[in-house]
Amino acid sequence: ELGPRLKTVASFLEGVTLLCDVGSDHAYLPVYAIQQGLITHAIAGEVVKGPYESAMQTVQDYVLNDKISVRLGDGLDVVTSEDEVKAISICGMGGELIARILEQGRVNGTLTGNEKLVLQPNVAEHLLRQWLVDHHYEILEEVVVEDHHRLYEIIVAEKREESVPLTATQIKFGPKLIENPTDLVIRKWERQLRKIEEILTQLKQSKEIPIEKVETFNHQYLELKGLID
C-alpha cells in the first residue's frame, strides 16, 4: 500500500497521458497512478542500477510492461524527443538536487516547459522554489502531507510565458502554504521554529557570539512567528 506522501503526489497527476517519474526507485508511484486510472502511461527513470532493477521487477510483477517504460539514466536524460511527456514527478530528494535535475533538463532540451511539474523535496524547498521562479514557473498548488511522522511539502508548477515573481518570504515558506496554512503547515512551521530556537540558544552560548548569524536566525524566527500568529 502506497503511503500518503506518494498518494497525494498521484492525486495531482489525474488525466496525464505520459508521466516521467524521475528517481522512481521501485516505480511504486507510476504503478499506483496507472492502477487508479489517473494516468495512462509512464516512464520510470533511475540513475542507480539497484533501484532500476527494482523498478523493472515491480513493473513485471504488475504486468504493466506495455504501460511503463523503465529506463536507466541521469535525471531527464531518459526522455527522448519522441516522448510527449505531459507531467514530470521528482520526489523524495533534496530541493537542490531536484532543481539541478530540472536545470540539466532545461539546458539539454529534455524539459520542454509543456510539462506539469509535481515535486516533493525532502529539504531545501526554498532552493527549488527559487529555481521555479527564475525560470518562469508558476506555483499552482502546494500542500504539506504527513507520512511516518514526517511532514513533506509537495509543489505543483507550470511554466508561463512571463515571470511570476514571488517575495523572499514566499520563496522561503511557500506562496500557497502562506495563503492556506492548514494544521499540518502550521505544525511544520512550528517544528522549524523550535529548530531555530535551539540554534539561537547554541549560538548565544559560544565564546564569541556570531552576531551576523544570530541576526539572520532572529530574522527567520520573527518571520515564521509572524506567519503562525
Determine which residue in the list 2, 47, 184, 203 makes contact with ligand SAM, applying CB under 6 A. Answer: 47
> What are the distances in angstroms from CA 228 to CA 146, 161, 181?
19, 34, 8
Cell numbers placing 85: 511527456
- The count of residues in the chain is 229
Determine which residue in the list 19, 33, 46, 68 makes contact with ligand SAM, applying CB under 6 A. Answer: 46
Residue closer to ligand SAM by CB (options 31, 91) is: 91
Determine which residue in the list 16, 20, 22, 42 makes contact with ligand SAM, applying CB under 6 A. Answer: 22
DSSP letter at 118 equals: E
Least Cβ distance, residue 226 to ligand SAM (angstroms)? 32
Q: Is 72 in the site for ligand SAM (CB under 6 A)?
A: no
- Binding segment for ligand SAM (CB under 6 A), chosen from 39-47, 143-151, 166-174, 209-217, is 39-47
State which of positions 89-148 bind ligand SAM (CB under 6 A). Answer: 91-93, 101
Least Cβ distance, residue 163 to ligand SAM (angstroms)? 27
Cell numbers placing 78: 531518459
Determine which residue in the list 53, 74, 197, 198 makes contact with ligand SAM, applying CB under 6 A. Answer: 74
- Whether 142 contacts 174, CB under 8 Å: yes
Determine which residue in the list 30, 45, 95, 181 makes contact with ligand SAM, applying CB under 6 A. Answer: 45
Instruction: Give DSSP secondary structure letters for 76-114.
Output: GGG--TT----EEEEEEE-HHHHHHHHHHHHHHTS--S-
CA neighbor of 116 nearest in space, from 9, 37, 5, 35:
9
State which of positions 185-204 bind ligand SAM (CB under 6 A). Answer: none
Q: How many residues bind ligand SAM (CB under 6 A)?
A: 16
Output the CA angle 77-138-22, nearest 5 degrees: 25
- Binding segment for ligand SAM (CB under 6 A), chosen from 12-20, 44-52, 143-151, 219-227, is 44-52
- The number of CA neighbours under 13 Å toward the Cβ of 66 is 1
Report the amino acid identity of residue 71: R
- Whether 128 contacts 155, CB under 8 Å: yes
Binding site for ligand SAM (CB under 6 A): 6, 22-25, 45-48, 51, 74-75, 91-93, 101
